Amino acid sequence: MTTIGDNLYSVSTRLQQACAQAGRPRAEVRLLAVSKTFDADAVRQAWRAGQRAFGENYVQEGVAKIEALATAGDCPGLEWHCIGPLQSNKTRPVAEHFDWVHSVDRLKVAERLSAQRPAGRAPLQVCLQVDVDGGANKSGVAPADLPALAEAVARLPGLRLRGLMCIPEPAPDFESQRALFLQARALFDDLRARGFDLDTLSMGMSDDLEAAVAAGSTLVRVGRAIFGHRERKPGPPGPFDAATAAAA
- Residues near 246 by Cβ (< 8 Å), separated by ≥ 6? none
CB of 83 to ligand PLP, least distance (A): 4
Q: Does residue 222 belong to the site contacting ligand PLP (CB under 6 A)? A: yes
Q: Does residue 81 belong to the site contacting ligand PLP (CB under 6 A)? A: no
CB of 33 to ligand PLP, least distance (A): 9
Q: Does residue 223 belong to the site contacting ligand PLP (CB under 6 A)? A: yes
Q: Phi/psi at 140 (nearest 5 deg)?
A: 120, 145
The residue nearest ligand PLP at its CB is 223
Q: Does residue 212 belong to the site contacting ligand PLP (CB under 6 A)? A: no
Q: How far is CA 88 from CA 29, 103, 106, 109, 116, in A?
A: 30, 12, 9, 5, 12
CB of 100 to ligand PLP, least distance (A): 12
- Burial class of 141 by CB neighbour count within 10 A (0 to 12, 13 to 18, 19+): buried
Q: Does residue 158 belong to the site contacting ligand PLP (CB under 6 A)? A: no
Pick from 26, 121, 194, 224 the residue near ligand PLP by CB under 6 A.
224
CB of 226 to ligand PLP, least distance (A): 8
Q: Which is nearer to ligand PLP, 52 or 138 (CB)?
A: 138
Q: Which is nearer to ligand PLP, 74 or 207 (CB)?
A: 207
CB of 237 to ligand PLP, least distance (A): 17
- Tell me how far apart the alpha carbons of residues 136 and 58 are, in angstroms, rounded to a whole number: 21
Residue 82 bridge partners (DSSP):
56, 101
CB of 145 to ligand PLP, least distance (A): 20
Residue 100 bridge partners (DSSP):
81, 125
Residues 165-204 interacting with ligand PLP (rule: CB under 6 A): 167
CB of 69 to ligand PLP, least distance (A): 19
Q: Does residue 205 belong to the site contacting ligand PLP (CB under 6 A)? A: yes
Residues 25-64 interacting with ligand PLP (rule: CB under 6 A): 34, 36, 57
* Site residue total, ligand PLP (CB under 6 A): 13
Q: Does residue 14 belong to the site contacting ligand PLP (CB under 6 A)? A: no
Question: Which residues of the shown chain bind ligand PLP in the complex (CB under 6 A)?
Answer: 34, 36, 57, 83, 167, 205-207, 221-225
